[in-house]
Amino acid sequence: MDKYDNDNIFARILRGKIPATILCEDDMTLAFMDIMPRADGHCLVIPKAPSRNILDVKPQDIAAVMQTVQKISRAVMKGFDADGLTIQQFNEQAGGQMVFHLHVHVIPRFDGVRLGPHTGIMADTDLLEKNAEIIRAAL
Ligand code: AMP
């Protein structure tokens, strides 16, 4: 497995070098909107500690991530009045991972609505902010 790359895109978001539509943050985690959402309200939770994926993350960091995932999941369900949620997490290229800083996807789901493609179209910033506001209000 390659070592952690400090210049990966989520590391740069954590350093404030590139913008993100932030939902919430605590000492150990950050939650923000996925820029190419598979559904309206698709968001990501990451640890602040440098972790490539599930294989190298420290137990306390993955535990903190999952606590934030649960908090965000409840807000997404409530805010979007969703019927369900899909939680995804990919590891290494063969596992579908494209950004090599551990992240967990939270995607609202609706009965009869199929999931969009994994790498789809870049969302409009205003739409991301509108959807973020729905989630923030439900937190
Ligand atoms: P994966 O590593 O396969 O879980 O996919 C990386 C995810 O990160 C995809 O869903 C992308 O849409 C998302 N993504 C990539 N760059 C950004 C960014 N700058 N801000 C927010 N989400 C991003």
Say which of 42, 101, 103, 105 is annotated catalytic. Answer: 103
User: How many CA atoms are closer than 13 Å to the CA of 57, on its beta-carbon side?
Assistant: 24
Please tell me the predicted confidence (pLDDT) of residue 118: 74
pTM for the complete prediction?
A: 0.97
* Interval between CA 94 and ligand 1 midpoint (Å): 16
Mutate to test the pocket of ligand 1, among 88, 98, 128 (most ligand atoms within 8 A of CB): 98
SS3 22: strand
Q: Which of 129, 102, 118 is CA-nearest to residue 10?
A: 102
Per-residue pLDDT 10s for the chain (139 aa) are 899 999 999 999 999 999 999 999 999 999 999 999 999 999 999 999 999 999 999 999 999 999 999 999 999 999 999 999 999 999 999 999 999 999 999 999 999 999 988 767 899 999 999 999 999 999 9
Please tell me the predicted confidence (pLDDT) of residue 117: 83
Q: Which domains does the chain have, with CATH numbers?
A: 9-138 (3.30.428.10)
Please tell me the predicted confidence (pLDDT) of residue 98: 95
Q: How far apart are CA 99 and CA 5, in angstroms?
A: 10
